Amino acid sequence: MKAVRCPSCGAAMKRNGKTSAGAQRWRCGSCGASTTLSYDDTAARLGEFLAWLTSKDTQLSMPGQGRTFRRRTAGFWRVWPMPEPTGEVRRVLFVDGIWLARDLVVLIAHDGSFVVSWYMAQSETSRAWEALMAPIPAPDVVVCDGGTGFERARRRAWPRTRVQRCLFHAFCQVRRYTTSRPRLQAGRELYALALELMHLETLRQADWWVERYLQWCEFWADFLEDVSYVDGRRQFTHERLRKARSSLSRLVSRGTLFTYLDPALTAEGPLPRTNNAIEGGVNAQLRDMLRNHRGMSTMRRVKAVFWWCYLHTESPRDARGILASMPTDDDIDLLYRTYSASPKRDDGGPEWGDRVVWEELHHKDPYTFWLD
């Protein structure tokens, strides 16, 4: 045990019996001051909280069915673990969003090994994507699944970054319209072309694939123009097949299918063609965590995702550093009252939106939470 020093004169103190509550009393031999020591176990309790959150343990299996645990760790649900921009430039970034509710999504950026940043929003709008991307230096290539609003945000935040559309998602989008067992010959041929996307290894093969796809579009063009009348309304007979064609045609025209084969980019090494690094390495882990601790409120689910993302960054702080630097609900309320011009409810609280925490606490520079 470290030597106990007198808070008045700094001299060494000695044990001097115990208080009526059983606490050790200390007395200074120099000035005669008497005191007791109290130890701050907040960091230890945070470690206990995070160990539970990232495990499969249930509170029901704890002593007292977790009542003591909930009391000891309740305050940590008020903490918001936020990303800390490092300024490091990555060659490749994977981006995706995990939906936690009908109008709540957490957008995540991952470099294949560590979580880089995350951002909460109501939907995958261009403004939300841009808020995620703005603090991060532009990578050479970004791999995405084609979420709504992403391309517009990329043109603003990362105009020189090349896009690689996840080929598995491109195939799944075609399969969604054709099914895995198309009844029509045109559907069978298009399904086969989409399936072949994941097996192209060279630019020559990619060019040959594009040529065959364009031939398919030309051969079946008249067939896809057939119309029918349903309840007196005119509609295309093969509407689903047309949607499958449109999904591939957009990717071909934008040139995002075969970025991973570009010789100028592959000179430094191979590039990924799918979003598997974030789908399996992040989203699947998050879903497992939320399933293991199902029953949490929406906000606790959000904070659980934030905690997991922070713990899987490249250099997370220790427990004491987290408690000293991360904002709490009170910090957010103060920022809202100080800066927000959005309409408030009758009780003074914020309306549901994505302009309180998600803008004030996402800055390009290391964030601060004090006011001048």
Indicate if the pLDDT at residue 4 is higher than 50: yes
Indicate if the pLDDT at residue 8 is higher than 50: yes
- The tens digit of pLDDT for each residue in 263-292 reads 999 999 999 999 999 999 999 999 999 999
- The tens digit of pLDDT for each residue in 47-73 reads 999 999 999 998 888 888 889 999 999
Q: Which residue has the higher pLDDT, 115 or 335?
A: 115
Cα–Cα distance, 92 to 94 (Å, whole number) = 7
Tell me if 13 sits within 8 A of 28, measured CB to CB.
yes
pLDDT band (50, 70, 90) for residue 351: low
Cα–Cα distance, 39 to 43 (Å, whole number) = 11
Cα–Cα distance, 173 to 257 (Å, whole number) = 14
The mean pLDDT of 317-331, rounded to a whole number, is 90
Q: Which H helix or E strand runs over 285? A: helix 284-292
Spans of all domains in the chain? 1-38, 92-105+122-278
Report percent pLDDT > 90 for the chain.
68
Q: Which segments of 108-230 does DSSP mark as H helices, in order? A: 126-133, 150-157, 167-178, 185-196, 203-219, 221-224
Both tokens of residue 54? 């990232």
Tell me if 357 sits within 8 A of 80, measured CB to CB.
yes
Cα–Cα distance, 250 to 122 (Å, whole number) = 26
Distant-in-sequence, close-in-space partners of 77: CB < 8 Å, separation ≥ 6: 300, 303
Q: Could you tell me the CA-to-CA distances from 88 to 163, 171, 190, 315, 363 in Å, in that order?
A: 19, 33, 42, 12, 16
The mean pLDDT of 26-52, rounded to a whole number, is 86
Q: Residue 232 is which amino acid?
A: G
- The tens digit of pLDDT for each residue in 197-249 reads 999 999 999 999 999 999 999 999 999 999 998 888 899 999 999 999 999 99
Indicate if the pLDDT at residue 361 is higher than 90: no
Both tokens of residue 8? 């008045």
Q: Residue 79 is which amino acid?
A: V
- Residue 37: the pLDDT is 73
- Residue 27: the pLDDT is 86
**Bridge partners for 164 per DSSP:** 143
Cβ burial of 215 (10 Å; 0-12, 13-18, 19+) is: exposed
- Residue 146: the pLDDT is 80
pLDDT band (50, 70, 90) for residue 14: confident
Report percent pLDDT > 70 for the chain.
90
The mean pLDDT of 296-310, rounded to a whole number, is 95
Tell me if 108 sits within 8 A of 291, measured CB to CB.
no
- The tens digit of pLDDT for each residue in 142-193 reads 999 887 789 999 999 999 999 999 999 999 999 999 999 999 999 999 999 9
Q: Residue 258 is which amino acid?
A: F
Burial 266-292 (b: 16+ CB within 10 A, else e): eeeeebbbbbebbbebbbeebeebbee
Indicate if the pLDDT at residue 344 is higher than 60: no
- Within 10 angstroms of residue 135's Cβ, the number of other Cβ atoms is 22
Q: Residue 306 is which amino acid?
A: F
The mean pLDDT of 319-334, rounded to a whole number, is 88
Q: Calculate the average pLDDT of the chain.
A: 87
Cα–Cα distance, 249 to 241 (Å, whole number) = 12
